[in-house]
Amino acid sequence: MENCVFCRIVRDEAPAYFVYRGHGVSVFLDIYPVETGHMLIVPDEHFESLHDTPPRVAAKLFAVAAALVRILRNELGAPGVNVITNSGRPAGQEVFHVHVHVIPRWKGGGWRRLVSRHRLTEVEALDFINRIKPYTGIIEEYLNNVFGEGT
Ligand code: 5GP
Ligand code: ZN
């Protein structure tokens, strides 16, 4: 998709802070995080939203989400995490390339308070990337476990 911002990020035509890339899936930081460490999981291939995403690709997105929740809770000490996908404009979808939000909740507020956003800063992004990078092997483990090596 020529003008899709997430396709452009995946093709390295637009910048992003990547947490993980592999198995046809990319994880990068949301540019307007609800809280520090707000990540987006996207398939490298373009699908509009969850209803037209093939089951295997959808399953990959949520396997990665589960791995990220484990990393955030067990390794980075996040006391809570939201996993969300917005499917369709009435649900709040703004970027029509399917994605799953993984949002560590350091402060709280629950799912009703997902709007207190700020512009991601470089210092915040690099600090979080440095903290999570040592654990991204867990994402690979999850994907290998469910889908097999290199799939
Ligand atoms: P949606 O409302 O579609 O579920 O969420 C889209 C998300 O993508 C929003 O949280 C928004 O901040 C994020 N976003 C939009 N454009 C960009 C971009 O160019 N780069 C990054 N990293 N995130 C973006
Ligand atoms: Zn796209």
The reported pLDDT for the residue numbered 88 is: 97
Exposure string for 30-43, b = 16+ CB within 10 A, e = fewer: bbebbbbbbbbbbb
The reported pLDDT for the residue numbered 112 is: 80
The reported pLDDT for the residue numbered 109 is: 80
User: Using a 6 Å CB cutoff, which residues line ligand 1?
Assistant: 5, 16, 28-32, 40, 86, 92-95
pTM: 0.97
Q: In terms of DSSP H, where are the helices of 13-107?
A: 55-70
Tell me the residue range of the domain where 85 lies.
5-147
State which residues of the chain have pLDDT below 50: none
The reported pLDDT for the residue numbered 107 is: 87
CA of 18 to the centre of ligand 2 (A): 16
51 is a catalytic site residue: no
Candidates 23, 38, 99, 101; catalytic one: 99
The reported pLDDT for the residue numbered 117 is: 83
Per residue in 113-128, pLDDT (tens digit) is 887 689 999 999 999 9
- 41 alpha carbon, closest ligand: 1
Check which CATH number belongs to the domain holding 16 and give it. 3.30.428.10
What DSSP line would sit under 82-109, residue for residue? EEE---SGGGT--S-S--EEEEE-SS--
The reported pLDDT for the residue numbered 116 is: 66
- 29 alpha carbon, closest ligand: 1
Number of domains in the chain: 1
Task: List, as ranges, residues with CB under 5 A of the ion ligand 2.
Answer: 1, 4, 6-7, 46, 97
CA 124 to centroid of chain Cα atoms? 16
Residues 6+ apart with CB under 8 A from 144: none
